[in-house]
Homo-oligomer: A and B are copies of this chain.
Amino acid sequence: MANPYDKARELAGELQGSEEFTTLKGLHDQVNSDEVAKRMLDNFRNVQLGLQEKQMQGQEITEEEIQEAQKQFELVQQHEVISKLMEEEQRMSQLVGDINKIITEPLEALYGTGEEQ
């Protein structure tokens, strides 16, 4: 008989074999084999991470930092492969989010019902 772990492994296999994953992996490999593109994306991610960290620590973000982030964003947006990669990352993130929602539905139902009683 199946169990949640086996099904989860099957699902991971489906995800890995999905068009979404294949496209994402292709673009990921393409960016990683292009030194200029990789550096551009790394820079952008580092700026983003730095701002997120500051925000989480309640530190103020300066006007210069916002402008720098915007500049980096416009730069990566203009790079066809990177912008496609970021699009596909969002699509994958949506897919994983949808999947999580489906999986936790039984628990949501259990706790939702509990509240109403």
Using a CB–CB cutoff of 8 Å, the interface residues on chain A facing chain B are 2-12, 14-16, 18, 21, 24-25, 28, 32, 38, 58, 92, 95-96, 98-100, 102-107, 110-111, 114, 117
Contacts and interface: CB of A to CB of B under 8 A. Distances in A.
Contact of A24 (B9, B24, B100, B110): B110
A114 B110 CA distance: 40
21 contacts: A2-B14, A4-B15, A4-B99, A5-B99, A6-B14, A7-B7, A8-B11, A8-B99, A9-B102, A10-B10, A11-B11, A11-B102, A12-B102, A12-B104, A16-B106, A21-B107, A28-B114, A32-B114, A38-B117, A96-B104, A100-B100
Contacts of A98: 5, 8
A5 B97 CA distance: 11
State the number of copies, please: 2
Contacts of A104: 12, 96
